[in-house]
Amino acid sequence: MRTWKLLLPLLALAGLIGIIASCAQMKTVPGIPASHPETLAIGQQVSCAECHEDQQKGTMKAFNAFSHTRSFVKNHRFYAASDDRLCATCHKSSFCADCHTNKAEMKPSTRYGERPDREFQHRGNFITLHKIEGKLDPASCYRCHGRANNDRCVACHR
């Protein structure tokens, strides 16, 4: 216990020095641009590889790590969790909030009926299917409806 009492101030001091040293170095740490250099039109099909072909042009991650392939769109939760700053260079927060919100008033597939090509969840007759899908993979329900956006759930699930 005595050793800890001696060590704690030393560790705190070391931590403080570390923080001060880090802050002094902050100006040398580069940042990604606040927004994408070129505005992309809604629905525009682009080949990101045209500019992000290799890492020599300044991208920290390999192009494959953020290329919007179909598997990327389907599994975007992984990428957003580790680097949503990169998402924010092109997408405004409202793009995410269309689906991921505390209260979703309208199914995204209804709201964007003109975009059937987007991989929206709960398309069509999901009110029947959710009784199967919820038993199959409850974790997929919980991620969006466990702690938020469950107004409609609580109406029936009493």
Partner 1 sequence: MKIACCTLLCAASLLAFPAGILAADVSIDSSTYFGFARKDVTGAVKETLLPATQFLGLTVAGLGDGNLSLHLYGWGRTDLGDKSSSKAVSNDIASFNSDKSTGSLSYGYLQYRFNQANATVRGGRFSIHEGIANELVDGVSVRTDLPLGFGLSAFGGATVHTAKIYGENSDGKGDFLSGGRLNYRYGGLLEIGLSGVYETAAPKLVTRTAANYRRVGGDLWLTPVKAVDIIGHSSYNPETKQFADHSYLITFKPYQKLNLTGEFNQQRDQSFLYAWTMFSSSALNPNDKSTSYGGSASYEVSKNVEAAADYKHYSRERGTAERFGGDVRLNFQENSVRGGIGYHYLNAASGFAIGTNPSASYHELRCYVMHDTKGLFSAIDLLGNRFKEKIYNETNAWETTATLGYHITPTLALSGDVGYGRNPQFTEEVKGLLRVTYNFIGGKK
Binding to partner 1 in span 24-43, by CB under 8 A: 25-32, 34-35, 39, 42-43
CA 28 to chain centre: 27
Measured over all CA atoms, what is the biggest interatomic distance in the chain, rounded to whole angstroms? 69
Contacts (Cβ under 8 Å, ≥6 apart) of 124: 109
51 binds partner 1 (CB under 8 A): no
CB of 66 to partner 1, least distance (A): 10
CB within 8 A of 118, min separation 6: which ones? 108, 112
User: Does 50 engage in binding with partner 1 (CB under 8 A)?
Assistant: no
Q: Measured between alpha carbons, how far is 132 from 136 in angstroms, rounded to an integer?
A: 6
In the structure encoding, which two tokens stand for residue 92, read together?
Answer: 């405004």
Question: Does residue 154 interact with partner 1 by CB under 8 A?
Answer: yes
Quote the least distance from Cβ 3 to partner 1, whole Å. Answer: 26
CA 75 vs CA 71, 92, 126, 152: distances in Å: 6, 19, 20, 25
Binding mask 87-126 for partner 1 (x = CB under 8 A): -----xxx-xx--xxxx-xx---xx-xxxxx-----xxx-
147 near partner 1, rule: CB under 8 A: yes
With binding defined as CB under 8 A, does residue 45 bind partner 1?
Answer: yes
Our measurement of the distance from residue 122's CA atom to the centroid of its chain's CA atoms, rounded to an integer in Å, reads 20
Contact residue for partner 1 among 15, 64, 91, 121 (CB under 8 A): 64
As measured in angstroms, the least distance from the Cβ of 90 to partner 1 is 12
The smaller minimum CB distance to partner 1, of residues 10 and 156, is found at 156
